Structure 1
Amino acid sequence: MRIDPLSGGVASDIAVVDLGDKSICAKFALPKLKVKEDWRAPVHRNRAEYEWLRVAARIAPGSAVQLFGSSEHLHGFAMEYLQGSDVYLWKAALLEEREDRSEAGRVGNLLGQIHAISTQPGFDTAPFHNREDFRALRIEPYLTFTAGRHPEVADELVALAEMLFESGQVLVHGDISPKNILFRNGQPVILDAECATMGDASFDASFCINHLILKAAHLPASRQRLLSGVVEFWNAYSAHIVWEPKNKLEERICGLVPALMLARIDGKSPVEYLSAAEQDRIRGLALGFVKAPTPTLRDFTRELTNRMEGVDA
Structure 2
Amino acid sequence: MSLYRTFDSADLRIWLSTQITLSTQLGGKPEEWSIKEVSDGNLNSVFLVHGLDSSLCCKQALPHVRVAPDWPMPLERALYEARYMRATEAAVTGLAPKLFHYDADLFLLVMECLSPHTVLRSALIADQVTPGFSETIGQYVAQTVHTTGWTTRPFEEGSRLLADFAGNTALTRITVDLILNDPYRVCTRNPEPEPALLSAVEALRTDRPLHAAISRLQNIFLTCRQALLHGDLHTGSIMLHERDVRVIDGEFATMGPIGFDCGLYLGNLALHACAAPQKMPAMEHEMRVFWAAFAEQFQTLVSQGGGDVGGLLEDDAARLTMVQDMLLGILRDTAGFAGLEIIRRTIGFAQVADYSLCPDDAARTTARKRALEIGRTLIMSAEAIESPDALFALLCPSPATGAPSLT
Task: Give the TM-score normalised by structure 2.
Answer: 0.69
Q: Measure how far apart 1:233 and its partner are.
A: 0.8
Map of 1:302 onto structure 2: 393
Alignment of 1:121-270 (within 5 A): 121=154, 123=157, 124-125=160-161, 126-130=163-167, 132-149=169-186, 150-152=205-207, 153-183=210-240, 186-239=243-296, 240-241=298-299, 242=302, 245-270=326-351
Distance 2:68 2:353 in 1: 12
CA contact (8 A) 1:164 1:199 kept: yes
How many percent of aligned residue pairs carry the same amino acid?
20
Secondary structure of 1:73's counterpart equals: coil
Q: Hey, what does 1:107 align to over in structure 2?
A: 137
User: For the residues of structure 1 that align with 2:283 and 2:71, how far apart are their CA atoms?
Assistant: 31
| 2:114 matched residue in structure 1 | 82
Larger Rg: 2
How big is the alpha-carbon RMSD for the aligned residues of Structure 1 and Structure 2? 2.6
Unaligned runs of 5+ in 1: none
Partner amino acid for 2:228?
L
Higher mean C-alpha displacement, 237-246 vs 217-226: 237-246
Paired amino acid for 2:219: E
- Count of residues in correspondence between the two structures: 310
In the alignment, is the contact (CA less than 8 A) between 2:138 and 2:290 conserved in 1? Answer: yes
Does the C-alpha gap of structure 1 residues 97 and 171 become closer, same or farther in structure 2, counting only changes over 3 Å? same
The range that moved more, 7-16 or 92-101, is: 92-101
Unaligned residue ranges in structure 2 (runs of 5+): 1-30, 187-204, 303-308, 310-322, 356-363
Corresponding residue for 1:50?
82
Deviations 1:13-62 (A, max 9, x none): 11123445433211112333245697554220111111222233312322
Question: In structure 1, what residue type is equivalent to 2:278?
Answer: A
Could you tell me whether the CA contact under 8 Å between 1:89 and 1:181 is conserved in 2? Answer: yes
Q: Return the letter of the residue paired with 1:192.
A: D
Kept after mapping to 2: 8 A contact 1:131/1:197:
yes
Q: Does 1:273 align with 2:363?
A: no
The answer as to whether partners of 1:4 and 1:17 remain within 8 angstroms in 2 is yes
**Partners of 2:77 and 2:168 within 8 A in 1:** no
Q: Which amino acid aligns with 2:64?
A: K
**Match of 2:338, SS?**
helix
TM-score scaled to structure 1, two decimals?
Answer: 0.88
Instruction: Look up the equivalent residue of 1:96 and give its one-letter code.
Output: A
Query: What letter is aligned with 1:265?
Result: T
The separation in 2 between residues aligned to 1:227 and 1:210, in whole angstroms, is: 11
